[in-house]
Homo-oligomer: A and B are copies of this chain.
Amino acid sequence: MSLINTQVKPFKATAYHNGKFVDLTEASLKGKWSVFVFYPADFTFVCPTELEDLANNYAEFAKLGVEVYGISTDTHFAHKAWHDTSDAIKKVQYPLVGDPTGLLARNFEVMIEEEGLALRGTFVINPEGQIKVLEVHDNGIGRDATELLRKVKAAQYVASHPGEVCPAKWTEGAATLKPSLDLVGKI
């Protein structure tokens, strides 16, 4: 069964965020849009470029009222140390969540059991805590923050305009479709 439209399962985690250790639960997600960005491991190769790409676009996510969460099976201690020592990660202003038990990675079905590491999974979660978009890459294939932004905007548009749907390659400001019996079989 797909995770789409399911509720985020209960969890407890500690994140490193702006020089502090903060506790998070599924309740922390309620009331605003969230993006969960899983990556395999701190101190590795593709990961910092992806996290940096998100950091560079963070202002725009913020403008949309979206919080971004970077998540790996490392501890929050390792996240702080990485943040302290990596030029790329230093730019990250969003929370880096420690998941050493793998609870989150398993809840979102991105755990590679034989390695104890997460796949590159991205999840857009609405303010009610439901997953609306998911995307998982095999670990060598990097993600693109601007694609993610487009999806977030489409998801937000649909959520706030009941009765409209976003057609293919929809971007902000483009026309949407209003489902009606007349359109059936006519496009």
A interface, CB within 8 angstroms of B: 1-5, 19-21, 41-46, 48-50, 52-54, 73-75, 77-78, 80-82, 84-88, 99-102, 109-117, 119, 121, 132-147, 150-151, 154-155, 158, 164-170, 177, 179, 181, 183-187
Given contacts A100-B116, A101-B114, contact A2 B109 (CB under 8 A): yes
Chain B residues near A42 (CB-CB < 8 A):
75, 77-78, 81
- Let me know if B141 and A155 touch, CB within 8 A: yes
Contact B167 A144 (CB under 8 A): no
A187 in contact with B48 (CB, 8 Å):
yes
Contact residues in B for A45 (Cβ distance below 8 Å): 165, 167, 177, 179, 183, 187
- A133, B144: Cβ atoms closer than 8 Å: no
Known: A88-B187, A137-B151. 17 other contacts (CB 8 A): A2-B110, A2-B119, A2-B121, A21-B181, A42-B81, A44-B77, A45-B177, A74-B74, A74-B78, A75-B117, A80-B181, A81-B81, A81-B184, A86-B186, A101-B113, A101-B114, A132-B141
Check B147 against A147 for contact (C-beta < 8 Å): yes
Please determine whether A136 and B168 come into contact, CB atoms closer than 8 angstroms: no
Which chain B residues border A179 with CB–CB below 8 Å? 44-45
Q: Are A185 and B80 in contact (CB under 8 A)?
A: yes
The answer on a CB contact under 8 Å between A41 and B77 is yes
